[in-house]
Structure 1
Amino acid sequence: MLRLPQRRDYDDWYRLRRTSQDFLRPFEPRWSELDLARRVYSMRVRHARQEAEAGTDYTFFIFLPDRRKEVLVGGITLSNIRRRAAQFVNLGYWMGQEYAGQGLMSEAVSVTLPFIFQTLDLHRVHAAFLPHNLASRRVLEKNGFVEEGYAKHYLQINGRWEDHVLMGLTREHWETWRLGMRFQHWVA
């Protein structure tokens, strides 16, 4: 399940981010204990709601259903939505260490794509990953993304400007790819 973050998610978010800090460090911008403060989190929740209402960015938390309550496992961000001639969005994501490698992010991205192409009516999705991050490559390839390039010093990760592999997915390719996947399941 994906939904906008809420203030009541703070304790679960804090625990997941804190316990995954060493795991996430090589893949994210530098952050400190101050970034985990409740006040900073509350500001992020407020900004996420304002951006979603404006239609410019969407921040989603990824939850697994549980008998007692939802279990936060990671997040997806749709940022820099462009309209007019461009019609694209940037896709980013993170997963808590204890949930990595279970196919959850691939599934979360697959749930996000209909929102991008059908609800937001965008034409293209961009994503980038560090060249050595093979898990991220698999997430994107499993969802029909294709490699489109290589960007030197593209994003600042853990305090350093790092090269990234650029991936993209157009609505046309997604629709064709999705039909092919359905056919494979039907034949199997």
Structure 2
Amino acid sequence: MYFTHFYGGNLLNILIRLLQEQDAKDVLHLEVKNKEFFQSYTPLRPDSFYTIEGQLDKINNTIKNANNGIGYSFGIFLKGSQRLIGIVTLTEVVKSVFQSCWLGYYLDQEENGKGYMTEAVKLAVDFAFKECNLHRIEAGVMPHNIGSIRVLEKAGFHKEGIARGNVKINGKWEDHQILAIINESYVEE
């Protein structure tokens, strides 16, 4: 499934689509190439994560989650070349009285600062609000990660507060700035 959108009449530079098994090799390349860079912002991962089998397992789990409506993992692809440059996820999708989820993302270090992640986040938000009819999306960012906070703010997220000792990264419990966006067009199902 491809999900693309126009903003301000200009065609986006990227598109997002749900990850599929055939993406495992490209996801592994992205993870290995950026291992040191990503490690600054993500929990420690076992060696098995950095194998084709580890990526296939991860992708198959995300496909199952998408089929069950509880999570979505999108590849971020450059238009034209179709090269995978990042991942954007909607996880912990909860319906009922919450109608919410968590947003996560990461981008090839070489592609940072080009506006791609802001575009990808906007597309993921659009998908969550229009296709999943969610009311709220939250994201957590380490407070010193100013670039990531800017991405979320440009996509319409607002700061809500600091979650103290929220995620264990590299063996240390790190605080996270919590940001959220509300679907102003939300309609009860």
TM-score interval for Structure 1 and Structure 2 normalised by the shorter chain: 0.7 to 0.9
Residue 4 (1) aligns with residue 18 (2)? yes
Asked if the contact 2:90/2:124 (under 8 Å) is kept, the reply is no
Q: Which amino acid aligns with 1:156?
A: K
Identity of aligned pairs, percent? 35
Deviation at residue 32 of structure 1 after TM alignment: 4.1
1:19-98 → structure 2 map (5 Å cutoff): 19-66=33-80, 69-98=81-110
Structure 2 distance, partners of 1:87, 1:7, is 28
Q: Which amino acid aligns with 1:27?
A: Y
Q: Which amino acid aligns with 1:19?
A: K
Stretches of structure 2 lacking an aligned partner (at least 5 in a row)? 1-14
User: Which stretch shows the higher mean deviation, 111-120 or 131-140?
Assistant: 111-120
User: Which stretch shows the higher mean deviation, 87-96 or 24-33?
Assistant: 24-33
TM-score, reference length from structure 1: 0.87
Asked if the contact 2:43/2:168 (under 8 Å) is kept, the reply is yes
1:121-164: per-residue Cα shift (whole Å, max 9, x none)? 01000001000000110100001111001111111222221000
Structure 2 distance, partners of 1:14, 1:41, is 6
Q: Which amino acid aligns with 1:154?
A: N
User: Which stretch shows the higher mean deviation, 12-21 or 163-172?
Assistant: 12-21
Asked if the contact 2:27/2:55 (under 8 Å) is kept, the reply is no
Deviation at residue 10 of structure 1 after TM alignment: 2.3
Deviation at residue 7 of structure 1 after TM alignment: 2.2
Residue 138 (1) aligns with residue 156 (2)? no
- Aligned residue pairs total 171
Structure 2 residue corresponding to 1:159, chosen from 142, 155, 171: 171
More helix by share: 1
1:103-118 → structure 2 map (5 Å cutoff): 103-118=115-130
TM-score, reference length from structure 2: 0.86
Residue 102 (1) aligns with residue 120 (2)? no
Q: Which of structure 1's runs of 4+ aligned residues deviate more than 2 A?
A: none
1:29-67: per-residue Cα shift (whole Å, max 9, x none)? 11244211111111111111110000001111100123x
1:149-181: per-residue Cα shift (whole Å, max 9, x none)? 111111122222100000011012xx6xxxxxx
Q: CA RMSD in A?
A: 1.2
Q: Which amino acid aligns with 1:24?
A: F
The higher radius of gyration belongs to: 1
1:106-134: per-residue Cα shift (whole Å, max 9, x none)? 01011111111111001000001000000
